[in-house]
Chains A and B, each alone.
Chain A
Amino acid sequence: MNSIATFFTGNGALFSPSRTAPAPTAQPAVATEAATPAVAVETLCKKYGTHWAVDEVNFIVPKGWTVGLLGGNGAGKTTTIAMIMGLVVPTVGRAMVLGHDMATERHKVLKRMNFESPYVALPARLTVRENLNVFGRLYGVPGIKQKIEELAEEFGLGDIMDRLTGRLSAGQKTRVAVAKALINDPDVLVLDEPTASLDPDRADWVRSRLRAYQQRKGATILMSSHNMLEVEQLCDFVVIMSRGRVVALGTCRELAEQFQCKNLDEVFIKLARGA
């Protein structure tokens, strides 16, 4: 467990000593593409006013892994994800994706990323087909018409392709949003509550699609979720946050053993109640 946790926290320190300076990176200045982790979060901090929403977070996501970012409401997950996506600039530290600092070089890597979040919606007045067409073209997807048909087939969107996105059910919207997130075959996929509004059957179906995509493409997935069963099914590794800090990390089994719990659900509750 220690070895894998050390790998995930980069330099071996879960909490770095100071938030005033970025943690030194152990990687050489010019890292090879293969050796570069998909995501590297180094001494990441974000301060809003006097409140540290994210406080010295360190972790590394190797390529091809699926990592769950967990925590209660206000734990700092969404802010961390926003910094990894480059939508929020860190106060201290940095978030690197495929070797590029997302605060300053995000344009170099955005074509290889995609995301889905309940905070964001696709334009309601456009049909599903129009939305997929627009985003496919934005990402420079070759053979966009064929790609849209493939996604429609894979996500069972055939009968809703020409309906306005705003008139779909919550579950249908989620499926369309996930289809949009996969339109450019991203190397790094960031998912915020990917199955939040789906019934258990549809949620399981979407999980199977994500797992199939991850295995087919060898993609890296970073996801936040409140569904512990989902995390256990999908994630190779879990990072748990509380009050802006990483409080535990490991595989689901390792965390259960560490906190003497039966499953991740119990670990989460134990940590949320201040264990």
Chain B
Amino acid sequence: MTDSINRMAAMTARYYYLLRSSWLRLLELVYWPAMQMLVWGFLYTYLYDSKSSMASTGGMLLGAVLLWDVLFRGQLGFSFTFLEEIWSRNLANLMMSPLQPAELAASLMLMSLIRLLIGTIPVTLLVFVLFGFNIYALGFGLIAFFINLVITGWAIGLVVSGMIIRQGLGAESLAYSIMILVLPLCCVYYPVWVLPLWLQPAAWSLTPTYVFEGMRAILIDGMLRTDLMVECFALNLVYLTVAFTAFMLLLRSARHKGVLLTMGE
């Protein structure tokens, strides 16, 4: 167990060194979410000031964008950290070391969380200062939303990383594009009832749907839907287990295919 923790600490140190090596990388973590929030923040201000019927939806829009970014950046942080190993042709070094796949996955999760906190905390403060929108007013709900979205991001990141191991850099674009695939069904900006009836079960099979419905419940009704959060968490545990199994199977397949040694070329 101690050996395992030491190896994960070594991997965390490796990613910390990488972040530390370039202020541009650190800036990039904040840059994209900040630019996005500026655009949506100004829209929020416009809707609020216009006193139109849309004014009340401004806050929901901003909250949804912030939480979507948690999911998107969580997955991206996981997948990009893994891609660093491919880009630097270091994966075989790691695979030949005593590092276990589960330890690699745990290190990527931790690093994804660190990257996410670096990227989102300054942006939430920026939104509060510039537009007066306080995401922390969601209280305990925010913690539940954050945990659930981060776990979903990890599960998707695990599958994306497995696909990259199996298919090589040809699957790299999945890291950028896969979240768009689930965006329409996650009901980020609209409630689930807007979807056709036959599509609603598909929406409820996705964990982010529970989070965004939960967020609307707080902002509209002032009510924390703990039932949704518990269901979401249980579903997330299933997805994370399935994703890790997929990661291991894809890794095994890559070993059969013989692509690990030349990965990144």
Q: Which A residues form the contact surface with B (CB < 8 A)?
A: 46, 48, 53, 78-79, 82, 85-89, 107, 110-111, 113-115, 117, 119-127, 130, 133-135, 137-140, 164, 180
List B95-146 residues whose CB lies under 8 Å from chain A.
95-100
Pick the contact of B96 from A115, A125, A164 — CB < 8 Å?
Answer: A115
* Chain A min CB distance to B120 (Å): 24
Residues of chain A lying within 8 A (CB to CB) of residue B3? 140
Q: Choose among B18, B89, B99 the residue that contacts A125 (Cβ–Cβ < 8 A).
A: B18
What's the minimum C-beta distance from B106 to chain A, rounded to whole angstroms?
Answer: 14
Report the separation of the CA atoms of residues A87 and B257 in the bound assembly, to the nearest whole angstrom: 10
Q: Is B262 an interface residue (CB 8 A)?
A: yes
Interface string of B250-265 (1 = CB under 8 A from A): 0010011010111001
- Number of B interface residues at 8 Å Cβ cutoff, please give it: 33
B7 proximal to A (CB < 8 A)? yes
The answer to whether A124 touches B14 (Cβ under 8 A) is no
A121/B260 in contact, CB under 8 A: no
Known A-B contacts A134-B10, A135-B93, A138-B7; the reply to A125 vs B258 at CB < 8 A is no
Which residues from A are CB-within-8-Å of B95? 87
Chain B's nearest CB lies how many Å from the CB of A50? Answer: 15
Check if B258 sits within 8 Å of A123, measured CB to CB. Answer: no
Q: Do the beta carbons of A46 and B258 come within 8 Å of each other?
A: yes
* Interface residues of chain A: helix, strand, loop or mixed (majority): mixed
On whether the beta carbons of A134 and B18 are closer than 8 Å, the reply is no
B242 within 8 A of A: no
Instruction: Specify which chain B residues have a CB less than 8 angstroms from the CB of A88 in the assembled complex.
Output: 255-256, 258, 260-261
Q: List B residues at the A interface (Cβ < 8 Å).
A: 3, 6-7, 9-11, 13-14, 17-18, 21-22, 84, 88-90, 92-100, 252, 255-256, 258, 260-262, 265
Q: Are B100 and A107 in contact (CB under 8 A)?
A: yes
Known: A134-B10, A137-B13. A122 touches B90 (CB 8 A): yes
- A110 shortest CB reach to chain B, Å: 5
Q: Would A117 and B98 count as touching, CB distance under 8 A?
A: no
Q: Is the CB of A138 within 8 A of B88?
A: no
Given contacts A87-B92, A164-B21, contact A134 B14 (CB under 8 A): yes
B10 CB, min distance to chain A CBs, angstroms = 3
| Contact B258 A126, beta carbon cutoff 8 Å | no
**Could you pull out 9 A-B pairs where Cβ atoms are within 8 angstroms?**
A117-B261, A120-B93, A125-B22, A126-B14, A130-B14, A130-B17, A135-B97, A138-B98, A180-B93
Question: Cα distance A124–B264 when bound, in Å?
Answer: 13
Q: Please measure, in the bound complex, the distance between the C-alpha atom of A138 and the C-alpha atom of B88, giving whole angstroms.
A: 18
CA distance A16 to B60 in the complex (A): 71
A121 pairs with B261, CB closer than 8 A: no
